[in-house]
Structure 1
Amino acid sequence: MKEGIILLSHGSKSAIANQELLALSRALEEDLELRVKEANLQFSKPDFWQAVEELADDNIQRITVVPLFVFAGKHVKADLPSLLAEVRNKYPRLTFKTTSHLAGEVSLLKNLIEVKLNNVSQSI
């Protein structure tokens, strides 16, 4: 069964932010040897539905959605479950699952913060 991943971001009007998401998507696709699509909830393309359609067109049958949100706010608690319910109805032949948001994995987030603290820069 062919598998794919959707990296789901908030979305941004910033071209730099969108380019960073694309770069992460491409790097993961190369490392994992799976189809990886980036998607945004708002402000920029591709959106969630475009990513699903592209994976479905590539005969991907199992899609894991990775929400790139730190905390369990509205997008994680309301928007994502709603999207998943809709997409499961529209694509009943596909299997969808999701990972937790970033703070849902406290040890992962702690490790990330430790790495960031070891690489502090003066500019933002």
Structure 2
Amino acid sequence: MTTQVPGTVLLAHGSRDARWREPIEAVAARMREDDPTVRVSCAYMELAAPDLPTAAAALIADGATAVHVVPLFLGMGKHAREDLPLQLDALRQRWPAVAFSLAPIVGESPELVALLARIAIKS
């Protein structure tokens, strides 16, 4: 059995404002600080680069054989519900030897809900 080499795409909506991307990129930087061997890339659904196929291609070029997409959305909107599954299907067709997986949107994580509540109470 071959060991898979993991890569992670942190996927967010996107904005023309470069400052909007800073928190997303900070998550990737923190992942690299916590584990210098981690392969992580940020991607955006629209209005910013790179897009999901470009980010996946970069991870695969870096040796990833399994790509886990983590949607950094607070709610289950059209992108997460409709667009993302179509994009993952296209990625699986383009790279059939790569295992693509999709995490639940972060807004559905009980840990994130609890953290946001704690932050709101303190503010």
TM over 0.5: yes
Match runs of 1:82-121 below 5 Å: 82-105=86-109, 107-120=110-123
The alignment covers a number of residue pairs equal to 119
TM-score between the two structures when normalised by the length of structure 1: 0.88
Match of 1:60 in 2: 64
* Mapped partners of 2:121, 2:38: distance in 1: 31
Stretches of structure 2 lacking an aligned partner (at least 5 in a row): none
**Structure 1 counterpart of 2:75, one-letter code:** F
1:98 CA drift (Å): 0.8
Distance 2:113 2:51 in 1: 29
Displacement of 1:75 after TM fit?
0.7
**1:44 aligned onto 2:48:** yes
Match in the other structure for 1:20: 23
Question: 1:66-121: CA deviations, max 9, x gaps?
Answer: 0011111101110110000000000001000011012322x22331222212431x
Answer whether contact 2:72 2:107 (CA < 8 A) is retained: no
Deviation at 1:19, TM superposition (A): 2.4
TM-score (norm 2): 0.89
Query: Deviation at 1:15?
Result: 1.1
RMSD: 1.3
Aligned identity (percent) is 29
